[in-house]
Structure 1
Amino acid sequence: MLTVRARPGNPSQGLINIDGTVFPCALGRGGISANKREGDGATPLASMRLLSGYFRRGRFAMRGALPLKAISPDLGWCEVPDDRNYNRPVEIPYAASHERMKRDDNLYDAVIVLDWNIRPRRRGRGSAIFFHLARPGFTPTQGCVAVSHAVMARLLPRLSRRTVMRVLR
């Protein structure tokens, strides 16, 4: 169980607790929301299972019980609510708006897909809610939970499909 709460006085930064050890994390620019919507920048107030993940070869050594795949140059994630592949991985180029998973920065060197709005998938309830690497200074995400490279390397061997991330207020 990973428990995430907003840092007092800063709703776009948080604290992630695993077995009593607490680490800083970045949250969405919209803070934590019980009514997550596409584009609001909020991190969903929810319990979410960790489903699977991706990693950048040569940038992050992935190990653990969670199913992980190397990020290919043509991997994207659809973010258009009216598209049939909304909140799903897609092959790019892709006609609808999508996020490129092989980013120029290091945020997705290790990225875990959370089960927010996966099954059932509801149009406009938010897409691409991930657990990934944070920017320096833990600047806000678009709604994801993000930790430092060192923390992700420490946590990854302990994560599995049975792991749940609880985002609380």
Structure 2
Amino acid sequence: MPIRNINVRSRPGNRAEGLLNVERVVFRCALGKAGVSAFKREGDGATPLGRLRLLGGYTRNERHPLRRSGLVLIPIRADLGWCDAPADANYNRPVRLPFRASHEKMLRGDRLYDVCIVLDWNIRPRRRNGGSAIFMHLARPGFRPTEGCIAVERSVMLRLLPYLSRGTVLTVLA
């Protein structure tokens, strides 16, 4: 059965670590190094407060063959990037590399984006400096903080993936 709602909140005593609640099952997650903020800005290191739809995602097929999911998962290629330059017309959009403005490479050596779900933050409408590249992706060892994303263990992501869809809403709570 598809997952309709996921709730995320900061763990008491550690604003950069969170608890991800899916149908009464709780998983540990990493949040932005600045915790949760209702006033998300580009580069502030905060995870945005609010309701975020899951739009689709990316996967490294050689490491994680495309799995069944209600989300469209696009294979990550070496020329895939994500623009994080507020002044650029492609701000907070996927771009083809090489790209002249500031961007993230989706094909990362640290494997964080091996499975990466795009969250509906500052997509439509886009606000300059409103924050970019807000994803749900794989966590660093020890759940080290993100730059504003929500990160879970690989096993949790693979467990949830078959039940996620565009109808899933991830709510980040204060």
Stretches of structure 2 lacking an aligned partner (at least 5 in a row): none
CA distance in 2, matches of 1:115, 1:167: 12
Deviation at 1:2, TM superposition (A): 0.6
In the alignment, which of 76, 85, 89 is matched to residue 94 of structure 2?
A: 89
Residue 58 of structure 1: aligned partner: 62
CA distance in 1, matches of 2:30, 2:68: 23
CA distance in 2, matches of 1:63, 1:53: 13
TM-score by length of 2: 0.96
The CA RMSD over aligned residues, in Å, is 0.6
Q: Percent identity?
A: 63
In the alignment, which of 1, 10, 13 is matched to residue 9 of structure 1?
A: 13
Residue 168 of structure 2: aligned partner: 163
CA distance in 1, matches of 2:64, 2:145: 22
For residues 1-169 of structure 1, the aligned pairs below 5 Å read 1-61=5-65, 62-169=67-174
| Corresponding letter in the other structure for 2:145 | P
Deviation at 1:63, TM superposition (A): 2.2
Deviation at 1:106, TM superposition (A): 1.0
Matched residue pairs, number? Answer: 169
CA distance in 1, matches of 2:20, 2:44: 22
TM-score by length of 1: 0.99
Large movers: runs of 4+ above 4 Å: none
